[in-house]
Structure 1
Amino acid sequence: MPSRLPPKPDFEAIEAAAINSADRRTMILALIGNLVFSWSNNESMFIYILMVLLETDEVSAAIVFATLNTTRARLDLVQRLATAKINDKETAKTLDKIITRFNESTRVRNEFNHCMYTVNDRGEITHTHAMKIRESRGRLTLGELRPIDDARIAELAKSIADLRRLNRDLWEFLPRLQKAVVPLTAQPSRTQL
């Protein structure tokens, strides 16, 4: 019975040839590292947004942030708190735009964090293979195979630049958010029945 497994790579030959493609591989890995670094710093900025919305200290906000184990859950909480606490529509819209921008970057970050990388016999990183199951015409297949060519590298560099701008915008937004939050003491109390 023939094996369905792919052939085992010739690791020694790939490693020997990889010396010639080291510069490009290092550049690609540095871009992926910068993407992860920038994305993580931006996700962590939501601790300060939670701190403002919850009217608490940094440690307490970080505890709430870390207790929610997915980015989606953290952003859902931010959006719900914003609905309850922000008294300025423009500030609320700006926060929604920030979250949208962050979600767009999350798609790219997930693409590079949750994939299998294809390396050719010269040690060049040639493709990503998404680790997401797709269904097409009733058949399940492994996710999309995408080349890492010059266009993809440019896309990755643009995503990093977008994250850098988002980080600056988050820092600029925090004081505005703080002014737009209705203090707990100013909210009407509800009597229990």
Structure 2
Amino acid sequence: MKRAVVDISKRDGAVDFDAFLLLIGKLNYSWTNTESLLIHLIAGLSDMDKEIATVVFLTLNTTRARIDMVERLSKLDRVDKVERERVLELTGRIQRQSALRNRYNHCIYAFDNEGENPRSILMRIADRKDKLMMGQVNDLDAAAAEAVKAAIAELRSINRDIWKTVSDFNYPD
């Protein structure tokens, strides 16, 4: 199956906001699809069937909690070192993609007076030692689109590698 290429550039070099939103949609789909594969890792590492692992997965209501569960299960003494290292490598790769995903899922979008030059404004407070930081602004430009495309490609790769791990260690599929 040939994957559609999303071009976010208009003729004048400006960003096509609708095309950028399509990229964000692809990122969300790729993220959700890949995160759901943690069910198989939970099942395999804990010796439970997929139905029970699904209940555990759905009960843990954040990505961080789900990754923590998988990582903690992999660190049990009964888990072989090779298996543990493979699982931790996968969860680390997922975690590294979360910052970009969070940037575009916890933001508002702003434009200039003409409705052009889109940018994202992060809707999160960073509580530092002696100050608050909020409203980090990122331009929605070609570089931002390339970062999203790279994240989608990496999530696709992680997805394949999780399925290989499920197969290699005979986890429920």
**Structure-2-length-normalised TM-score:** 0.82
Q: Following the alignment from structure 2 to structure 1, what is the Cα–Cα distance between the partners of residues 121 and 65?
A: 27
1:153-187 residue CA offsets vs partner (Å, 9 max, x unmatched) = 111111111111111111111122337xxxxxxxx
Aligned counterpart for 1:134 among listed residues 101, 126, 142:
126
Gaps of 5+ in 2: 1-11
Stretches of 4+ aligned residues off by more than 6 angstroms:
none
Percent of matched pairs sharing the same residue: 33
**Secondary structure in 1 matching 2:170:** helix
Q: Letter of the 1:91 partner, please give it.
A: E
Aligned counterpart for 2:48 among listed residues 56, 59, 77:
56
1:78-118 residue CA offsets vs partner (Å, 9 max, x unmatched) = 11211226543122111111001100111111110001111
Gaps of 5+ in 1: 1-19, 180-193
Residue 30 (structure 1) aligns with: 22
Q: Root-mean-square deviation (CA), in Å?
A: 2.4
**Secondary structure in 2 matching 1:124:** coil
Q: Following the alignment from structure 1 to structure 2, what is the Cα–Cα distance between the partners of residues 76 and 134?
A: 22
Aligned counterpart for 2:60 among listed residues 52, 58, 68:
68
Residue 184 (structure 1) aligns with: none
Larger Rg: 1
Q: Following the alignment from structure 2 to structure 1, what is the Cα–Cα distance between the partners of residues 128 and 75?
A: 39
Residue 150 (structure 1) aligns with: 142
**Secondary structure in 1 matching 2:102:** helix
1:164 maps onto 2:159 in alignment: no
More helix by share: 1
Tell me the matched-pair count.
Answer: 160
Residue 105 (structure 1) aligns with: 97
